[in-house]
Amino acid sequence: MSIQIFDQKSNRWRDQYNPLRGMSLPKLVTLLEAGERGAYADLQWFYHYMERSDAMVHAVVQRRRAALLSCDWDIRVSADEGSGADKGLAEEQAAFLRESYDRVENFRDAVSFLFSGFFRGFGHLEKHFASSGMVTRLEPVEQWFWVRDGLFEAWEYNQDARSGQTRGVAIDPANFVMFETVALNRMLSVLYLRKNLSQKDWDSFLEVYGIPSVFLVGPPNAPESKEGEYQKIAEGIISDGRGYLPHGSDIKYVNGNGHRPPFLEHIDYIDRQITLAATGGLLTMLAQSGAGTLAGNAHLETFMQIARSDAAMLSGVFQEQFDTPLLREFFPDQPALAYFEFAPPAGSEVSRVVQDAATLAMAGVQMDVEELSEKTGYGLERCGRTAESKAG
């Protein structure tokens, strides 16, 4: 029976449980410590809600995911003219892998889910096979269904997503594509909670001081018979009325000691920390001074480096856990000469490589096409016009 069938039946009780209610820093630390022991159910359910509850956290997740999903993918061959490898076999394997990935009906959604592992620490895709042995789907299995008996032990399936569990049903890793890394949400969750506590204090401050309380100070030695009259005048002033105050009267406002509350600066600081942790820079997400300058370009290039790193890491996961098993089964006793790879959007580094190649060509030096293709991510072919013909 497919794990995904269990998911649909056993996760319904969590639909009624909002982990954000009553969340505090000590409780969050308890969840994080449980995650270190392999009890992920409650921690991952909290991450799920957190990513949908804070505008900045949601924005950085979507920004990183969009950078990955904007990448094209291709099947490359590792056989070249000087390697002595069977180029025909390499092309056959490449065609086989292209067909294999095209058969996966939810591949884009599967990649999008596997990306969530960068923020949640891990991600699992269950392989659904056709009778031919080809993979037809890579079904996401949500993070709160996974446990392990210790930080580095084997993954097990927690069928009912029970809280506090570190043991579950053993799985066959060959039936899954699994990705594991350092969880960004471990840092973001603490920032998220501090930001919400600051927002809560700010709301309380506004309830008290947002509309300042007004007090009328009567003139010195005012007779008691006039107090009722002065009270009516004060009520008229509070209701945006107009009136005459006797000589010596004064108006006092309760405005929080007249100091600017620090909540906005604190929230802005936390948003900058969230952006820095998730995107590697500020100018790529926030309107900071220097945007459009060399500093802005540097931050953008930093973000693109992270996007290329994401693509490279997930490429390696698919190469190891999707390509290799299929090639072993359908090309037994043959070397693996083809592999899957994401092609990230070209950044300024790629532009420099292309410019260097053009400069070398003008000087009569030609770069190797395969090497240039690997460095740029572009599929390149030799054209009929060479450097020698240009010189002639």
The verdict on 276 and 234 lying in the same domain is no
What type of residue sits at position 241? G
Say whether both 37 and 168 belong to one domain: yes
Among 63, 77, 73, 75, CA closest to 107: 73
Out of 328, 345, 362, pick the residue that ends a domain: 345
Beta bridge partner(s), residue 252: 215
Determine contact, residues 372/380, Cβ cutoff 8 Å: yes
- Is the C-alpha dihedral spanning 289, 294, 295, 297 positive or negative? positive
Closest CA to 17 of 53, 42, 51, 50: 42
Alpha-carbon distance 360 to 345, whole Å? 24
DSSP for 265-315, please give it.
HHHHHHHHHHHHHHHS-STTTS--TTTTSHHHHHHHHHHHHHHHHHHHHHH
Residues 186 and 200 in one domain: no
At 45, give phi and psi (nearest 5°).
Answer: -65, -40
Are residues 71 and 143 located together in one domain of the fold?
yes
Same-domain check for residues 179 and 229:
no
Its pTM stands at 0.73
Residue ending a domain, choose from 203, 231, 259: 259
pLDDT of the residue at 386: 47
360 and 390 belong to one structural domain: yes
The 3-class SS string of 45-101 reads HHHHHHCCCCHHHHHHHHHHHHHHHCCEEEEEECCCCCCCCCHHHHHHHHHHHHHHH
Q: For the chain, what is the domain count?
A: 3
Whether 15 and 84 share a structural domain: yes
Residues 155 and 267 in one domain: yes
253 φ, ψ (degrees, to nearest 5): -115, 140
CA distance 71 to 342: 6
93 with 173, same domain: the answer is yes
User: What DSSP string runs through 88-145?
Assistant: HHHHHHHHHHHHHHHH-TTHHHHHHHHHTHHHHSEEEEEEEE-TTS-EEEEEEE-GGG
345/368 Cα distance (integer angstroms):
22
Give yes or no: residues 134 and 22 share one domain: yes
Beta-carbon count within 10 A of 53 CB = 13
Residue with tokens 């269950």: 126
The Cα 168–Cα 214 span in angstroms is 63
d(CA 287, CA 59): 14
- For residue 211, the 8-state DSSP code is S
Q: What is the pLDDT of residue 228?
A: 78
pLDDT tens for the 392 residues of the chain, in order: 455 545 555 566 777 888 999 899 999 999 999 999 999 999 999 999 999 999 999 999 998 999 888 888 999 988 554 455 688 899 999 999 999 999 999 999 999 999 999 999 999 999 999 999 999 999 999 999 999 998 889 999 998 889 999 999 999 999 999 999 999 999 999 999 999 888 887 777 777 666 666 666 777 777 777 777 777 777 776 666 666 666 666 777 666 655 667 788 888 889 888 888 888 765 444 544 554 554 445 555 667 778 888 999 999 999 999 999 999 999 999 999 999 999 765 554 566 667 777 787 787 777 777 666 666 656 666 665 544 444 44
**Where among 259, 291, 310 does a domain terminate?**
259
Helix, strand or coil, per DSSP, at residue 173: helix
46 shares its domain with 62: yes
* Residues 202 and 261: beta-carbon distance below 8 Å: yes
Q: Which domain holds residue 228?
A: 193-259
The answer to whether 94 touches 75, Cβ cutoff 8 Å, is yes
**Gap between the Cα atoms of 273 and 288, Å rounded:** 14
What does 329-383 look like in DSSP terms, one character per residue? HHSTTS---EEEEEEPPP-HHHHHHHHHHHHHHHTT----HHHHHHHH-------
- How far, in whole angstroms, is CA 160 from its chain's centroid? 26
Q: What does the alpha-carbon distance between residue 329 and residue 115 come to, in Å, rounded to a whole number? A: 27
pLDDT the model gives residue 387 = 43
Helix (H, G, I), strand (E, B) or coil at 258: helix
Note whether 328 and 184 are same-domain residues: yes
Q: List, in order, residues 6 or more apart from 89 with CB less than 8 Å away.
A: 79, 331, 334, 335, 337
